[in-house]
Structure 1
Amino acid sequence: MKTFCVLRPTLLLVASGIFMMTSCKKSTDVAPTISPITPIISTTAVTGIATDKEVNDWILENMQTYYYWNDKIPANPDKSQTPGKFFTSILNTYNATSNPDGDRFSWIQESADALKASLNGETKTDGLEFKLYLRSASGSDVIGKVLYVQKNSPAAKAGLTRGDIFYQVNGQLLTVSNYQELLSGTSDTKTYTMAKVDATNTIVNTTTTKQTTAVVYQANPVFLDSVYTINGKTIGYFVYNQFVTGPTGPNDHTYDNQVDNVFSKFKAKGVTDLVLDFRYNPGGYVTSAQNLASSVAKGVDPSKIFYKKEYNETLSPLLLKAYGSDWFNGYFLQKASNIGTNLRSLIVLTTGGTASASELVINGLKPFMDVTTIGTTSYGKNVGSITIADSSGHIKWGMQPIVTKSFNTLNQSDYSTGFKPAIEVKEYTNEVWKQLGDVNESLLNTAIARITGAGRVAARTNSPTYEVSSSIERKAGGSNMFFSDRLPNAQH
């Protein structure tokens, strides 16, 4: 006989939050108030380490209830597999040809604690964010180029900076066959051997090395803000690298408050044109996206819809019956920091690392104002997930399944292949990259030219680039993030 218990979410509100699935020991653990949705849990003994069968039962039952594609779960999946393989086996797996609307994003981790910490920006890292490229089209050698360095991190203290290039890690050449092991291995200490771009725009090796040792690090997503006055335009520029409410979870609004302060500064300085730099922002809490968008949107108030959510056919009628149709909507907030009234233009800088909640902001703002994207095509994630974990501690695993699809107020959700930029600008491997915030940096320079009508951008050297991977895509368990906490504290 199954025992059902209260869902006590520790909502890591990403894109709205983290949803905790609790295990119960006895029915007396159940709170007296009954709600329409129940986390389905394994009722086997909650002492000791969970067996693979217990974990797989827990995975399956919760996925059958919450997974967006729960109608695609196999009728009789093989529970003899290890939990990681079992989870993968029941997904509605994406295939560009045969299943283009499938799942590219759900994932599972052995440690729910590590999963939750990473979603709040805390990881063990040296603070180096990088992209990996093939050195040439015909070879297997790989180089890493630094996208940015987290402030006060080991990488920053080692003197690494945006645009630096490395070709060896711990004395070994990076190749397509070993880069994952070298960059994601168990060793906390890494020695990077550097390369550089010479006067002929050729990447050449050096013997210079820089060493870092990873630490548990809390990244602040509010990375950089500036105001430029150019050709009579007052331009606000904001680099925001993850939608996170605060370092300790959804009830901590430290970072949201910092975002508000940025826009209050923009408002005080009379910003009339805005550049949002989301090029390295893989997503995060919907509530943080809602917060930021509410300081940008033109002519909005709390009656205007920022996003809509669609759930599976199991959850939707229960949510509708219990909470009404308004449950599926997220609204703009009333913000004293809103600069929308004075904005003449809004530009969002994007790359393939721009995903999820970043794209939610673009999609949610479009019905209210013109949004111009510059850079390269964004990732294409119009679906959201929740974090499912067992608060009793018996099951250590944590999973992040897709549970919802997002739309704007015009019911548009047509960005599963990403937002194609109005102006394409690439970050080439063989050019010297300017620092973020430098008005001659390629993407920002193009945005400023667009705003001021200059029609010219800084001279650049264009050559083919062969991308392999990115630390941005590796964040939060290797998946771009878009989380949602818009499910109730459910029980029954």
Structure 2
Amino acid sequence: MKKVFGWRPALLAVASSAFLLTACKDPQVDPSSPGTGNATAANPYDRNFQGTVTDANLNRWILDSMQVYYYWNDKLPDASTLNFDQQPNLFFESLLYRYNRQTRPDGDRFSFMYDNAQDLKNSLSGIARTTGMEFRLNLYPSGTDNVIGRVLYVLPNSPAARAGVKRGDIFNKIDGQTLTRANYATLLDVSQNIDTRTYTFVTATNGQLSTGQDKRIQAIQLAEDPVLLDTTFTVGSKKIGYLVYNQFITGPGGPTDRTYDQKIDNAFARFKGAGINELVVDLRYNPGGYVSSALNLASLIGKGVDNSKVFYRQEYNKLIMDQFNRAGQAGGLSSRFSNKSQNVGANLQRVFVLTSDATASASELLINGLKPYMDVQVIGDTTVGKNVGSITIEDRYAARKVKLGLQPIVTKSFNSLGQSDYSGGFVPNAVVFETNLVLPQLGDIANEPLLRTAVGRITGTVNGRLGVGTQREMPSVGSSLDDKAAGGNMFFDAPNGLFK
């Protein structure tokens, strides 16, 4: 679960050939001698903070980090006005240049803290305590406070999968208690010290729920493989590649592990071998991830792209940008596509991206970065609208035993045309919602509304702005996707950066 607490260190150094923003390193900023390798001006708290973990010391660390890295560091309150003796979560919140539709439309919607930095890093790599099923919570029946869980997808070989749970299943009780608006958060909190719960699954017939089956499901620490499905369909003369990708994760071992990126490469090798001439990328449940994984996927899709073409450019606060400029490294703020032998762009005129209101960050970076090179058709719901990214900051002194993790926004992203105008989200070319009480299976081109709309537009049988399932679903009270650390975030890893 997310907690608003925080700590410090990450590396900020201008090296001879690359600017690095990574976790678990010393904070290093040397405005006086950029471009000199590791020459740095040490932070005074590195010398003076001797391990007394008080709120005041924690809060000074938080402020110090934000003054260096925060994208809106010029909007931080004057230190003389701050209460350093308050709880760190309240102190952190008091620093943020928070978004307000009327007064701060350019404000921060995404900075947060975790109470455990290792949990944060695990979650960024798709590792979390889970049953293996992701679900959306809705009020049902209409006019009541009763809550049901509709299963969105189930991870293969997870406890939920072994219990026989599948997409489209519906549950309405936990340990015999009916889910309501008042109790669902507590009953579904898998972070509590309860290994196994009983979920009551019900059957839906003509909109009516009938008595179902109890299933005992354990929550375990699990690494999610984000590549849920890749397949091809042949519809007339159209050979359609279809990819369901649920998080931009490089691999279970963190940003240096490319296991999942390689799996994406292999999927596109199969697409290319099958001779696809249309592509549908399903990002409806993808809240973001590593920029390096977004760049990898974009390099497999883009038409006419290679390592001379810009995928995205990043902008930091004035302190950091000045250091780049003095070092003559401002050109290093642009990340270029990779040359990929599995690229299918030569056979495509367009790409279809399926979205929801949970589609965010690196998913949006992909859409924005591809738009200068090809027609990107968005089908589904308006996306979150996150055109900014963050880094993970944690304490580097293990002896102090401070476990908190800070995730501040540090950068804004632009495509090769200098466009970053999607803070309100990408509005779909075809508006389609998952309106079915019982969700059709992913990959069902006849019944699943988002994919059916994409296929219809490919074959010319669905035209105009609206597709099918255009009435918004029953009232939602949340989703298990909200608990992913990647939710609505972009992250940077060295050397090219990472967005989640």
TM-score by length of 1: 0.89
Matched letter for residue 74 of structure 1: P
Distance (whole Å) between structure 2 residues aligned to residue 446 and residue 137 of structure 1:
27
Give secondary structure in 2 for the equivalent of 1:7.
strand
The corresponding residue for 1:468 is 477
Work out which of the residue numbers 299, 307, 315 in structure 2 matches 1:294: 299
**Contact map agreement 1:285 1:482 (CA 8 A) in 2:** yes
Is 1:453 aligned to 2:456, yes or no? no
- Which region of structure 1 is more displaced relative to structure 2, 173-182 or 156-165? 173-182
The corresponding residue for 1:51 is 54
Deviation (angstroms), 1:38:
6.7
- Which region of structure 1 is more displaced relative to structure 2, 203-212 or 420-429? 203-212
Deviation (angstroms), 1:279:
0.5
Distance (whole Å) between structure 1 residues aligned to residue 42 and residue 249 of structure 2:
27
Q: How does 1:180-329 map to 2 (within 5 A)?
A: 180-184=185-189, 186=192, 187-198=194-205, 200=206, 202-329=207-334
Deviation (angstroms), 1:119:
0.3
Matched letter for residue 405 of structure 1: K
- Which region of structure 1 is more displaced relative to structure 2, 257-266 or 76-85? 76-85
Distance (whole Å) between structure 1 residues aligned to residue 212 and residue 84 of structure 2:
51
Work out which of the residue numbers 123, 128, 136 in structure 2 matches 1:123: 128
Give secondary structure in 1 for the equivalent of 2:136.
strand
Distance (whole Å) between structure 2 residues aligned to residue 84 and residue 243 of structure 1:
28
Deviation (angstroms), 1:98:
2.5
Distance (whole Å) between structure 1 residues aligned to residue 179 and residue 111 of structure 2:
29
Deviation (angstroms), 1:22:
3.3
Deviation (angstroms), 1:89:
1.6
The corresponding residue for 1:433 is 439
Runs of 5+ in structure 1 lacking a partner? 10-15, 25-31
Give the share of equivalent positions with the same residue, in percent. 47
Structure-2 change in CA distance of 1:17 and 1:176 (3 Å): farther
Q: CA RMSD in A?
A: 2.6
- Which region of structure 1 is more displaced relative to structure 2, 271-280 or 131-140? 131-140
Map Cα deviations across residues 156-176 of structure 1 (whole Å, 9 max, x no partner). 111111111111122222222
Work out which of the residue numbers 26, 34, 38 in structure 2 matches 1:34: 38
The corresponding residue for 1:22 is 26
Work out which of the residue numbers 466, 470, 493 in structure 2 matches 1:485: 493
**Contact map agreement 1:190 1:213 (CA 8 A) in 2:** yes
**Contact map agreement 1:42 1:58 (CA 8 A) in 2:** no
The corresponding residue for 2:69 is 66
**Contact map agreement 1:36 1:318 (CA 8 A) in 2:** no
Structure-2 change in CA distance of 1:317 and 1:188 (3 Å): same
Distance (whole Å) between structure 2 residues aligned to residue 289 and residue 461 of structure 1:
29
Distance (whole Å) between structure 2 residues aligned to residue 218 and residue 429 of structure 1:
29
Runs of 5+ in structure 2 lacking a partner? 1-7, 14-19, 29-35
Matched letter for residue 61 of structure 1: D
Matched letter for residue 427 of structure 1: E
Structure-2 change in CA distance of 1:219 and 1:323 (3 Å): farther
Aligned residues: 468
**Contact map agreement 2:128 2:222 (CA 8 A) in 1:** yes
The corresponding residue for 2:423 is 416
**Contact map agreement 2:231 2:242 (CA 8 A) in 1:** yes
Query: Which structure has more RCO (C-alpha within 8 Å, separation ≥ 6)?
Result: 1
Is 1:132 aligned to 2:101, yes or no? no
